[in-house]
Amino acid sequence: MVNNQYYFDAYFEFVRYADQKISEIEKKHTDKLSCAKGCCSCCEETSVLPIEFFSIVNALKENGLKIQPGSKSCSMLRRSLCQIYEFRPLICRTHGLPLAYSEDDDPLMKNISFCELNFKKKIPKFTKNNVLDMDELNLELVTLNENFIRSFDGELPERMELKNIVNYL
């Protein structure tokens, strides 16, 4: 088990910052979002960066939380609820919102994506003020991850499957 509280603390500070940004964008679209507890069509088995993986493992251990066998769509999903909700990774925190990503061949051109269950009546005009800039958040997350990997004593894969969290608890 990795024991590096400094990186876990830095990661969860980043998560708090990301949650703030997410909340700001949510407020701009409150009446158009269908996202609610128990709605889990967006949940699917996913992999995360090592810093996310081990921060989640560490937080679950600290809080004495166990994972029960989950659903086919995501091993963390049980009875339509996320078993790691408080500690879920960035990608899950942003589910459903209008997200802006740069295109690989043109970093100035942003793609916007959002859950098709949201904005069902009318798709608003998206501008940089009402979408979540994922490039900014991902850059910060990748930097945290690189620092963590450098400090890690041993080899780590680029990404780690969330379903393997149970093996570390």
The residues binding ligand SF4 (CB under 6 A) are 34-35, 39, 41-44, 46, 74, 76-77, 82, 84, 88, 92, 95-96, 115, 117-118, 162
Nearer residue to ligand SF4 within complex by CB, 47 or 147: 47
Q: Which is nearer to ligand SF4, 29 or 148 (CB)?
A: 29
Distance in Å, CB of 39 to ligand SF4, minimum: 3
Residue nearest to ligand SF4 (CB): 96
Give the shortest CB-154-to-ligand SF4 separation in angstroms.
25
Q: How far is the CB of 110 from ligand SF4 (least distance, A)?
A: 20
Local structure of residue 69 (DSSP, 8 states): -
Residues in the chain: 169
Nearer CB in complex with ligand SF4: 2/52: 52
The CA-CA-CA angle for residues 15, 110, 17, to 5°, reads 15
Rounded to whole angstroms, the Cα distance separating 134 from 112 reads: 10
Mark 3-22 as b/e (b = at least 16 C-beta within 10 Å): ebeebbebbeebbeebeebb
